[in-house]
Structure 1
Amino acid sequence: MPILYHEQSKEFHLYNKEISYIIEIMEDNQLGNLYYGKKVIDRDSFAHLHEEMKRSQAASHLPEPSKLYLQYTKQEYPSYGTGDYRYPAFEIKQNNGSRISHFEYIGHNIYKGKKKIEPLPAVYVEEEGEADSLEIELFDELTNTRLLLFYTIYAELPVITRSAKFIQEGTESICLTNAMSASIDLPDMDFEMLHLAGAWARERYVKLRKLEQGVQSVYSMRGASSTEHNPFLALKRPEATEHTGEVYGFSLVYSGSFLAQVEVCTHDMTRVLFGIHPNNFEWPLNTGESFQTPEVVMVYSDQGLNKMSQTYHKLYRTRLVRGKWRDKARPVLLNNWEATYMDFNEESILKIAEKAKSVGVELFVLDDGWFGTRDDDKQSLGDWFVDKRKLPNGISGLSEKIEAMGMKFGLWIEPEMTNKNSDLYRNHPDYIISVPGRFESLSRTQHVLDFSRKEIVDYIHSMIAGIIRESKISYIKWDMNRYITECYSRAALPEEQGMVMHKYILGVYDLYTRLITEFPDILFESCASGGGRFDPGMLYFAPQTWCSDDTDANERLKIQYGTSMVYPLSSIGAHVSAVPNHQLGRLTPIQSRANVAFFGAFGYELDLNKLTEEEIEAVKEQVRYYKENRSLIQQGNFYRLKSPFEGNDTAWIVVSDDKSKAIAGYYQRLNKVNASWLRLQIKGLDESTLYQVSSLGKTMEAYGDELMNIGIIINRKDLNRTGGDFASLLFDFVKVK
C-alpha cells in the first residue's frame, strides 16, 4: 500500500517508486508537511524533520512551553490569524464577522483507486490498482464545519492530486471567501518559477524568474483561464535543465478565474497556493451544504522539465481526456475560416470541400457565419438556426453532401455568447451577465450569456442539440471569444453574486456534459479566440484545443513549445494556413508550415483551390505523411531539444514507447551567411539500437548512443533548399531490423 499511516508518530507517508510525500499531525491537531520530493525509504517516524523554534515577534499557537509557531512551520492547508501571517489556503466569514478558523484532525480514510469530484473535471483511474487515495477529515468545533482534504498518488507516475471540500454541519451559515485547492510549504527558496504567459495570438510563452522574498503569482480574473496566464506553474532548481535536475509542477484542472501564487517568507520558506481566484468569490454554505474545490495535479521530476512534461502528457492524454477519441487517431481536417471568413454559400463551400477530399482530407469543418443573419461579427450570436440565404439545404443538407464525398462534417458554434442584434437578446435581454443601471461593456460587439442560470443553459442546449440531431455532424468546434465583465446575475440574490463566476463555469461544464453524453461519437475541440481557455478542465470534455488564432508557423514554434510544458501533442490543434499569413503577413515555406503543424492535431486553414499544382502535390504528401505517423505523434514521448526562446533555432522529437520509431523537427528562424556548423543531439532513443535516419530523401545509419551523444550534422544547404528564412527539416528514425 503506497499510503501508510504511522499511528505512533501520527504521520502519513504517500510514496511510489519515484516520490514521497509526508504529512504529520502536529501537537495542535493541525496538519504539517514534513517532506515532498524524491522517494525516501519509509521509517516509523520522520518527526526529526519537523522544524520549530521560538522567534522574536512570533505568536505561539499553544500555551508555553510549546514552540509551535505557525509562521515558521511548514503546513498542509493553513489558515490566517492564529500566528501564521502568510497568505492562507482558505478563509471563512462567520455571522459574527470573525474570519478565524481552527480545523483539527479527527480521522482519515485510505482506499484503493480514486473517487470522482463531480460536477468538476478531474483525472481518473480505470482500475483501482492504478492509484491510492487518502481523505483526511478535519473539524472546526466553533462553526461545526467539516473539512476534507483529498490526496491521490498514482502507482506508476510521479503524480499527486489534491483538492478540498467544505461541509457545513452547524445551524448557522458560513461564507467561504477563499478556498484554494492545495497549499504546499517547501523548506527553502532556491528555485526559479516557470510559467506560461502571453496574450491573444502569442499564448503560453515560457517565462522564468528567480524566486525572491515576497509574493510572485500568475492569475486570471477574467472568468476564463485566459490567454494571459495558463493555470500552471513549475518551480525548478536553478541548475535544472530540460533533462536534468529537480522540478515541481502544479496544474489546475479548472477553466475559470484562478490564482497560482508563490510566497517566500523572510526565513526563506516557499509556499505555493493554487485554486479559484478569491476576487469576486463568496460562497455561502447553509446547514448540509458543501463546496468542492477544483483539483490540482502536482508532478515531481528529478530529471528536469521534460520529464515533468512527459508525466503531464501521459496522465492528461490517458486519464483526463475521455471517450471515443481519447486513444483514437485524430482526423486530418480542413477548416474554411481563413479561406472564406463569413462570406460563403453552399456552392463555394462544396468547391473547397471537393478539393480537400482530393488531397486526402478526412473532415471538413464549417466555421462561423452559417446561422441567423451572420454576415459579420456584430449580429446573430445565439440565433442557432440556419441562414437559408447561404445554405438553402441547411446544415443537414450540407452535411449529407460532405459525407457523400467521403468526408466527415464538422461545425463551429459559440454557445456562451450573444449579440444585442439577435433574436435571442431581443426576446431575453436579461439573459446576459450585466449590472442593472451600469454600462454593459462591449467586446467583439458581443455579450456573455449567464450560464450560472440553468434555464439559459437549457435554452442553448435545446437549439444546439436540435441542429446536431438533424444533421450528420462528427466534430464540433466550441468557441468562446470574450471574457466576463460586469459580473452580475439578474436571477441571483445579493448574497449569491459572489457565486456567479464559478457557477458560470459549472454551467459550461454542464452543457458539455449533456452534449457529449447524447453525442458520444462527436470529436469536440475547444477554442477561446484561439488558446484563451487551453486548460485541463477543458480537456476533460474536449480532447483537443485550438492552440492559437496565430497560424504563422514561425510564431507557432513558441506557442506550441510553451504549450508542450503541460499539454500532450494530441491536444494541440495545429493547422497549415495560407501565405501571406493573415495575422502577420509573413511568407513561410509550405514545408515549414506543415513541419510545425505535424506536431499536434493536424489540419488546414485555407482554400486549397488557390494553391499551385506544385503546392497541391506537397499537400498530398503532407497528408499522406501525417496519416502514416499520427499514432506516433499523438501517443509518443515528446522531447524538447532546442528552445525558440533562447536562440535562432528550435528542435524537438517524438519517440515511440518501444523506441523503434521517432520523428524530429528542426527549425531555423532566419538564415545566416557563411555560418558555423550545426549539430543536433537527439533524446529518447535506445543507445544500443541501430537506426536508419532519413531526411529529404537521404538516409544514413547510426546507433542511438551516437545520435544522442554526438548528434546529427544539420546541413545548411538542406535548410536553404527548403526555404532559407523560416526553413525546417524533418528527420525520421526507424529501428534497423
Structure 2
Amino acid sequence: MAIHFRTTKLYPQAFQLNTPNSSYAFGISEQGLAVHFYYGARLHRNDLETLCSAENSPWFPAQPGQTLLDHVPLEFSGSGMADLRPAAVSVQWADGDNLVDFRYKSYKIITGKPALQGLPHVYIEKEEEAFTLVLTLADAKGLEADLYYTVFADSDALVRRAVLRNTGNQQVTLTRVMSASLDLPDNRMEMVHLHGSWAREFTLERLPVGHCEQRIGSFRGASGSQHNPFTAIVTPDCTETAGEAYGCSLVYSGNFCMETDVDAGDRLRLNVGLSDRAFRWPLAAGESFETPEAVLVYSNCGLGEMSRTYHKLYRSRVSRGYWRDRPRPVLLNTWEGVYFDFNREKLLNLAEAAAKEGIELFVIDDGWFGHRSDDTTSLGDWAPWEEKLGCALPELVRDVNQLGMDFGIWVEPEMVSPDSDLYRAHPDWALCRPGRPATLARTQLILDLSRKEVQEYVIDAMTKLFSCAPIAYVKWDMNRNMTEIGSFADRTASAGALAHRYMLGLYHILETLTSRFPKILFESCASGGGRFDAGMLYYMPQTWTSDDSDAVQRLDIQGGASLVYPPSMMSCHVSAVPNHQVGRSTPISTRWNVAVLGGGFGYELDMTKFGEEEAQTVKKQIEAYKNERSGLFNSSFYRLPAPEDMAAFQQISADGDRVVATCCRRLYHAKNGPYWLRLQGLDAQAEYRCVKTGRTVTGSVLMGHGVCLHLDTVDFASERMVFEKIK
C-alpha cells in the first residue's frame, strides 16, 4: 500500500504517503496537532520511525501554557490561534468569535479516490490506481475539516483538497479556505510563476522567496492571463534537468491565491486555494463547503521532470471523453482571415480553398448570429443571422460537409450585450451590483451564472444550436473579466462568494453540454489564454493558448505554458504575415514549426489569397502533420537549453521510436562557429537515424555531444529535426 500508518512515542499517529519517486509524511502530536515532517524524495517504509524520533522532530513541545505555534510546521492551520502565520482557514462565528483550533479527530485510508461533486478534479478509472488518506480535524465549537490526500500508483502527483463541515448549532461564515498548505523547513528557495497579459500569457518569472508574504492570484472572475493558477517552489540550483522543485497547480478556473510566507525561523509556508478577497461563505448547521483540488508534484530532477509528471496526469486523468486520446483535426478558423466581414459567398470560397489544402475542419468565428457585424451587439441572442449567412445554418453546414470537411462554430455563452433581445427581456440577469453603474468591457456584460434560471437558458440555447446541424467543434470564448460583482437574486452575497457560485454554475453548464454532445470537440478560450487551467481542461480537451499567433511570441507563450500544461492541450495556429498582433513577418516554415508543437493545430488566414507556391507549401505542411500527429500527440515534451536568442524543444513519441527537435531563432547575431543542440531522454544505447540526412548516431552522442544546427543566418529562422529509433 502507498499509505503507511505508525504509532510512535512522540506522535500517536504518523502517516507516510508514497508515490513512485516521492514521499510525504506528517504526524499527530499528543496535543492533537497535525505536524508536517517531510515532502521530498522517496523514503523507505521504516524511515517514518526516524522522522518521528525526538532528534528529528520538526517541533519540540514546550511546557504547557508556554506553547506558541509560530514555529510548528502544520498541515492545516486555523485563524486567530497561536499560529500567527497566514492560516489555511479563517472564519466568523455567529457570536462574533473568529477562532479556529483544529485538533485531530480521526482518519481513514481508502483504496481509490472519491470524486468531487460539481467541481473538476483528477479522476481514476480503476480503484487500484490510487489510495486516499482522509484526515479529519475538528474545532470544539463545531467546525470539522476533512483533509484529502491522494497518491497514485504510476504518478508522482499528490492531490489535496479540503471539505469544511459545520457540525455545530450556529452559523459559521468562511472568510478564507485553502485547498492545501505546505510548510517547508527553510527559505533558501525561489518561486517560479507564470504572469502576463492579453497576447503575452505564460511569461515565466523566477523570484527569491523573501521574509514577507508573496502572493499571486486573480480577482477577475477567471484564473486570468495575469497570473496562472500554478507555482513551483524550487531550490536556487534548480534547472530543467537537476535540482528540487515543488510544483502546485490548482484545478480551478476562477479567483484564486497562491502565497508564500517565511517566518522568523526561516521556515517557508505555501498556501494554495480560493482567493480570500471579499470572500464570505455562510455555512448553516449541517452544511459543508468543498475546495478545489490542488495537485502537488515533487521532482529532484529539475523542472522538466516536474512538467512531464503534470503533462501525463492532465492528459490522461483530467481530460476526459471522446477526444482525450484522439489526435485533433487540422482546422481553418475564419477570424483573422475575414473577421466580421463575410457572407455566404465569401465563406464558401474560403471553405473550397481550405478543402483543396487538406483542411479537415472549417470553423466560423464571431459574427454569424443575431445582427452582429461588430463586437457591440447580439451576445445572448444565439439565433443564426440568416440574412448575413445567405441561408439557414444547417444548409451552410451541409455545404461545408459536402466539401469533405467538418463544421465548427464560435460562441460566447457567458456574456450578454446590452444591445440584445436577451438583455432587454432580462436586464437583471447581468452580473452587476444593484444600484451601481455597470462597467462595460468589449461592450458587453457577464451573465449571472450563479442563478439556476440563467444556467438553464444557456444550456437550452446551446443545445438548440448544437442540435440544429452536425456541429463537430465549438470554440467557447469568454472576453471580459468581472467588475462590480453582484446579483439581483442575492443582494447580500459577497463578491468572492458570487464569483465562486458563478464558477460552479459554469461547471454545471459545461458538464451538461459536454455529456449531451460527447463527440463535439470543445475548445476553451478567454481572449486567448485568459482561462487556461486544469479546471477548464476537465471539460474541454484543448485551449486557445493566446490571441497572439506570432511565431516568435508563441515560443515563450507555449514554452511557459508547458511548465504545467501538456502541449497536446494547446491550440496553435499558423496565421498571416505581417502578424496581426505585433506586425512581424516570419517565414511560413517557422510559423508551422512552432504551431505543430501544439495538439490543436490549424490555420487562421485567408487561403483564397494564396499564390501557387504558398498553396503548395501549406498543402505539404498539412500532409506532414497528418503523417506525424498520431505518434506525437501524447509525446514526452522537453524544453532544451539554448542560447538566449533561440528557443528549443523536443518531443519523444510514447513508444520512444520517433524524436523531433525544434529550434527557432528570435534574432540573428553574428557569431563564430555552429551551435550543438543536446537532446534529452533518449535510449543511450540505441541508434537513431536522422530522417533528413539518413545519418545514424547513438542516443548517447545525441545527448552528450548533440546535433549541429544549420539555421539560416537571418532573423526568425528555424530548424526541425526528426530522428527515428532503429530497432
Alignment of 1:15 onto 2:18: yes
Alignment of 1:258 onto 2:263: no
Of 276-285 and 431-440, more deviation after overlay is shown by 431-440
Using the alignment, how far apart are the partners of 1:37 and 1:642 within structure 2? 26
Query: By how many angstroms is 1:190 displaced?
Result: 1.3
Q: Provide the residue aligned with 1:214 in structure 2.
A: 212
Query: By how many angstroms is 1:53 displaced?
Result: 5.1
Of 276-285 and 674-683, more deviation after overlay is shown by 674-683
Structure 2 residues not aligned, in runs of 5+: none
Task: Specify the SS of the correspondent of 1:275.
Answer: strand
Give 1:548's match in structure 2, choosing from 526, 546, 552: 546
The equivalences for 1:133-282 within 5 A come to 133-142=132-141, 144-282=142-280
Query: By how many angstroms is 1:495 displaced?
Result: 4.7
Spell out, residue by residue over 1:283-340, the C-alpha distance to the aligned partner (whole angstroms, 9 max, x if none).
Answer: 1011221100000000010110000000000000000000000001111111000011
Task: Specify the SS of the correspondent of 1:525.
Answer: strand
Using the alignment, how far apart are the partners of 1:476 and 1:715 within structure 2? 40
Paired amino acid for 1:502: H
Q: Provide the residue aligned with 2:292 in structure 1.
A: 294
Q: 1:574 to 1:63 in 2, by over 3 A?
A: same
The equivalences for 1:635-714 within 5 A come to 635-642=634-641, 647-673=644-670, 675-695=672-692, 698-714=693-709
Using the alignment, how far apart are the partners of 1:158 and 1:523 within structure 2? 29
The answer to whether the Cα contact below 8 Å between 2:319 and 2:538 also exists between their aligned partners in 1 is yes
Task: Specify the SS of the correspondent of 2:461.
Answer: helix
The equivalences for 1:484-633 within 5 A come to 484-495=482-493, 498-600=496-598, 601-633=600-632
The answer to whether the Cα contact below 8 Å between 2:550 and 2:584 also exists between their aligned partners in 1 is yes
Q: 1:346 to 1:2 in 2, by over 3 A?
A: same
Runs of 4+ in 1 over 4 A off after TM superposition: 495-498
Using the alignment, how far apart are the partners of 2:377 and 2:19 within structure 1? 55
Using the alignment, how far apart are the partners of 2:105 and 2:87 within structure 1? 21
Alignment of 1:98 onto 2:93: no
Spell out, residue by residue over 1:639-692, the C-alpha distance to the aligned partner (whole angstroms, 9 max, x if none).
Answer: 10036xx71011010002332111110100112335432110111111111111
The answer to whether the Cα contact below 8 Å between 1:632 and 1:654 also exists between their aligned partners in 2 is no
Structure 1 residues not aligned, in runs of 5+: 55-59
Using the alignment, how far apart are the partners of 1:497 and 1:564 within structure 2? 32
Using the alignment, how far apart are the partners of 1:195 and 1:564 within structure 2? 12
Give 1:351's match in structure 2, choosing from 331, 349, 352: 349
Query: By how many angstroms is 1:496 displaced?
Result: 5.8
Query: By how many angstroms is 1:592 displaced?
Result: 0.3
Task: Specify the SS of the correspondent of 1:71.
Answer: coil
The equivalences for 1:49-64 within 5 A come to 49-52=56-59, 63-64=64-65
Q: Provide the residue aligned with 2:322 in structure 1.
A: 324
Alignment of 1:730 onto 2:720: yes
Query: By how many angstroms is 1:506 displaced?
Result: 0.7
Paired amino acid for 1:653: Q
Give 2:52's match in structure 1, choosing from 47, 52, 68: 47
The equivalences for 1:449-464 within 5 A come to 449-464=447-462
Spell out, residue by residue over 1:391-436, the C-alpha distance to the aligned partner (whole angstroms, 9 max, x if none).
Answer: 2322211111111111111110000111111111111111111112
Spell out, residue by residue over 1:54-89, the C-alpha distance to the aligned partner (whole angstroms, 9 max, x if none).
Answer: 8xxxxx7x724x6x4310000000122221110000
Give 1:38's match in structure 2, choosing from 38, 41, 48: 41
Using the alignment, how far apart are the partners of 2:531 and 2:384 within structure 1? 27
Using the alignment, how far apart are the partners of 2:271 and 2:660 within structure 1? 38
Spell out, residue by residue over 1:321-367, the C-alpha distance to the aligned partner (whole angstroms, 9 max, x if none).
Answer: 00000001111111000011011112111111111111111111110
Using the alignment, how far apart are the partners of 1:232 and 1:571 within structure 2? 16
Using the alignment, how far apart are the partners of 1:674 and 1:93 within structure 2? 64
Using the alignment, how far apart are the partners of 1:35 and 1:402 within structure 2? 59
Using the alignment, how far apart are the partners of 2:406 and 2:493 within structure 1? 48
Q: Provide the residue aligned with 2:338 in structure 1.
A: 340
Query: By how many angstroms is 1:264 displaced?
Result: 1.0
Alignment of 1:405 onto 2:410: no
Spell out, residue by residue over 1:559-606, the C-alpha distance to the aligned partner (whole angstroms, 9 max, x if none).
Answer: 000000000011100000001100111110000000000000210001
Q: TM-score, normalised by structure 1?
A: 0.96
Task: Specify the SS of the correspondent of 1:389.
Answer: helix
Task: Specify the SS of the correspondent of 2:387.
Answer: coil
Report the identity percentage.
43
Q: Provide the residue aligned with 2:69 in structure 1.
A: 70
Using the alignment, how far apart are the partners of 2:217 and 2:419 within structure 1? 33
The answer to whether the Cα contact below 8 Å between 1:642 and 1:649 also exists between their aligned partners in 2 is no
Using the alignment, how far apart are the partners of 2:327 and 2:388 within structure 1? 33
Using the alignment, how far apart are the partners of 1:622 and 1:701 within structure 2? 25
Q: 1:311 to 1:319 in 2, by over 3 A?
A: same
Q: TM-score, normalised by structure 2?
A: 0.97
Q: 1:498 to 1:259 in 2, by over 3 A?
A: closer
Paired amino acid for 1:677: P
Spell out, residue by residue over 1:419-471, the C-alpha distance to the aligned partner (whole angstroms, 9 max, x if none).
Answer: 11111111111111111221211111111110111101111211111011111
Query: By how many angstroms is 1:489 displaced?
Result: 0.7
Paired amino acid for 2:369: F
The answer to whether the Cα contact below 8 Å between 1:370 and 1:391 also exists between their aligned partners in 2 is yes
Spell out, residue by residue over 1:476-497, the C-alpha distance to the aligned partner (whole angstroms, 9 max, x if none).
Answer: 1000000000000110141565
Using the alignment, how far apart are the partners of 1:383 and 1:120 within structure 2? 28
Query: By how many angstroms is 1:16 displaced?
Result: 2.9
Task: Specify the SS of the correspondent of 2:691.
Answer: strand
Spell out, residue by residue over 1:617-658, the C-alpha distance to the aligned partner (whole angstroms, 9 max, x if none).
Answer: 111111111111112332010010036xx7101101000233
Using the alignment, how far apart are the partners of 2:222 and 2:171 within structure 1? 29
Q: Provide the residue aligned with 1:120 in structure 2.
A: 119
Task: Specify the SS of the correspondent of 1:70.
Answer: coil
The answer to whether the Cα contact below 8 Å between 1:489 and 1:497 also exists between their aligned partners in 2 is no
Using the alignment, how far apart are the partners of 1:497 and 1:670 within structure 2? 46
Task: Specify the SS of the correspondent of 1:107.
Answer: strand
Using the alignment, how far apart are the partners of 2:699 and 2:326 within structure 1? 30
The equivalences for 1:356-505 within 5 A come to 356-495=354-493, 498-505=496-503
The answer to whether the Cα contact below 8 Å between 2:276 and 2:496 also exists between their aligned partners in 1 is no
The answer to whether the Cα contact below 8 Å between 2:19 and 2:157 also exists between their aligned partners in 1 is no
Paired amino acid for 1:712: V
Using the alignment, how far apart are the partners of 1:334 and 1:6 within structure 2? 59
The answer to whether the Cα contact below 8 Å between 2:486 and 2:493 also exists between their aligned partners in 1 is no
Using the alignment, how far apart are the partners of 2:670 and 2:195 within structure 1? 34
Using the alignment, how far apart are the partners of 1:481 and 1:319 within structure 2? 28
Query: By how many angstroms is 1:369 displaced?
Result: 0.3
Task: Specify the SS of the correspondent of 2:145.
Answer: strand
Using the alignment, how far apart are the partners of 2:488 and 2:447 within structure 1? 11
Count of residues in correspondence between the two structures: 719
